Structure 1
Amino acid sequence: CECFGGLSGTPQNAINNLENLVWLSLGCNQFSGQIPSSLETVPNLEHLSLSYNNFTHVIHSTIGTLTSLKALILDHNNLTGTIPPFLQNLTALRRIHLEANVLTGNIPSQ
């Protein structure tokens, strides 16, 4: 990614209780560690883009609670493990990008 937003660390507490937030794009930064579990405090989120960072570990189960999510963009990180079955609970999801990670398995069908 040719862009760099200049943010680093883990955005864990930065997004707490943003109940009216519908669009969150934190791509092209240097965030690392796990995808924040505090996403569960953003229930109306429709678009989540965390691409081109250095997130690791498995996709956090909190994402499975974001039932309003229409776009999940997690490409170009270092996510590992299997593609989680809870993604099938995201019935509003229309767009998903998981490429350029170290994930295995198939995207669950609805």
Structure 2
Amino acid sequence: MSSNVTLRRCVSCRQLHDRCKLLRVIRLPSGQGLVLDQGMGRSAYLCPKRCCLEDARKRRRLQRALRVPVADSVYDALAQRLEPEAEKPLRQDEDSPSHAE
């Protein structure tokens, strides 16, 4: 038996992901506003990655998917919910001063 995983597509990178792992932006049924995460209405999903958010903003992907203008405040709220970028480990060069000659 397969598990019931609801898949949704990121409007930016077009990858399929489990719905609970994506950020959701909802256009209210009245068309008078946008909300994040919960509610009824037309929805668009976005990966919680900075590159997807920047691409969606640059190429106006949320506006197209939701069919309404998206304010900068919505992008700012989404940016606060992004996954923290993984810190890259520092690479130690062979010529570092800690090596004895």
Greater strand content: 1
**Common topology (TM > 0.5):** no
Larger CA Rg, structure 1 vs 2: 2
Greater helix content: 2
Q: Tell me the TM-score normalised to structure 1 length.
A: 0.25
Q: Tell me the TM-score normalised to structure 2 length.
A: 0.26
